[in-house]
Amino acid sequence: MTVSLRAVQAATACLLLISCLAGCSGNSDAPLFYESKRKAGEAEAPVKDVPADLLATQKAFSAVASKVTPCVVNISTISRKKIIQPFFETNPFFDDFLAPPQTRRDKSLGSGFLISKDGYIVTNDHVVRDAESIQVKLSNDKVYDAKVVGGDQKTDIAVIKINAADLPAAVLGDSEKLEVGQWAIAIGNPFGLERSMTVGVISATGRSNMGIETYENFIQTDASINPGNSGGPLLNIHGEVIGINTAIVAAGQGIGFAIPIAMAKPIFTQIMQKGTVSRGYMGVTIQPVTEDLARSFGLKQARGALVNDVIKGGPAQKAGIRQGDVITAFNGSEVKDPSHLQRLVAEQGVGRTARVTLIRDGKPVELGLTLSSAEAIPRQQRESGGSGEHSGQGDLLGLVVDDAEEGGVVVVDVGRGSVAADAGIRRGDVIVSVNRKKVLNSGEYQRIIHQAGSGEGRLTLLVRRGDASIYFALRIK
């Protein structure tokens, strides 16, 4: 009998399959996988003795999530923005020939948290700014239309409202007592991923001069904050709100910023009560105290805010504050720099009296000052003088000056690479005083400059530039 090769191969394959099946049925007692005895299985957990503090920490994070997540909301907005058009389309001459300006509908996502049982929600102003419609989604998946109660661009804080009752409300903590290294927990809506929780630590406090908002006192954290987290709460291990997540460093990872709740409370309280924010106004222009300026003003350290101008009729002038004073404390709080003073003044209630501590002629002075409302004061118009560096024969500072019509000397030319040019003095600036001695004319100016050149060579110039006054610390080489 002849058997083909294909038949032999088929038979062999069949026998192998039968053998494999028989082998499987022969080992039916071996489990396909192993379950932990912690789940009523047959296997021991790989790690039996987990440290108690780790288990407690894990339990604490889970407790924060379960207790606070119901207070956190997801915010979605729709806004209409104008499409940038070519020049001829924005020129009124072509209005009769073109269609109306084109707009686009933008959608964005953010976060917020309930601060009252009747539907008040705190978020970032940039989340809801210019929104045509706002929808709020709660943790129980109910969706509500929301309206803006008010917003403050200078601190990036806003309040919105939904019509609901008996809602879970967040508990506000104390951001004034935060320490670097403490736990920080962020809950929000990053990239549209609802109710996401991230954990890290407080990396730093009191971050300012970041160029993010007008008034800055940020908490820095490495708890992951991403687009969509804006407006959500930053929490401590007790589940208390200690900050409002606001910004990230785009070029880095693990660097996020939150507005301290202590700074936010006066803002959203005013918004809830009257829909707007009023800030204290002092009536001075100020600048940082550099090391050179500190030495020239007889200060032990470069801290505080140097008053370079006093607004006529303002609270500071009425209180007796003068040009050249260095403000070192406000209501007992040490002033670190101009932005710090600006924030302290803004947070002070309008119409209330504040204690201002300053250094004048090397001596401490304390004055009482009643703040007015910043919103009631017209914005000061400040124009810069001419810029640029020019070659020419100048004095020891590299300046060519002439008598100014209203007293002092006007800078006619600035030598390229000179001491004055390096300090930032420009053509058109008017030098009002040198080493706190008023300059009446160019002759007196030259005499003071030469006297300084034969001494230590340190000079402090008060310069008027447009409507602004600026102090410069120079050292003759």
Catalytic entry in 111, 125, 152, 156: 156
Paired strand residues for 431 = 409, 463
For residues 319 and 322, what is the distance between their CA atoms, to the nearest angstrom? 9
Question: Which DSSP string corresponds to 226-240?
Answer: -TT-TTPEEE-TTS-
State how far the alpha carbon of 196 is from the alpha carbons of 9, 191, 357, in Å. 58, 10, 46
Q: What is the 3-state secondary structure (H, E, C) of 48-91?
A: CCCCHHHHHHHHHHHHHHHHHHHHEEEEEEEEEEECCCCHHHHC
Is 156 an active-site residue? yes
HSE-up (13 A, CA, CB side) for residue 323: 19
Is 126 an active-site residue? yes
The token pair that represents 172 in the structure block: 């506000």
SS3 call for 454:
coil
For residues 241 and 244, what is the distance between their CA atoms, to the nearest angstrom? 8
First-to-last C-alpha distance (Å) of the chain: 116
Q: Which of 366, 369, 339, 367 is nearest to 351 (CA)?
A: 369
Residue 56: CB partners within 8 Å, gap ≥ 6?
Answer: none
Catalytic entry in 111, 126, 296, 325: 126
Catalytic entry in 175, 230, 433, 442: 230
**Residues annotated as catalytic (active site), given as ranges:** 126, 156, 230
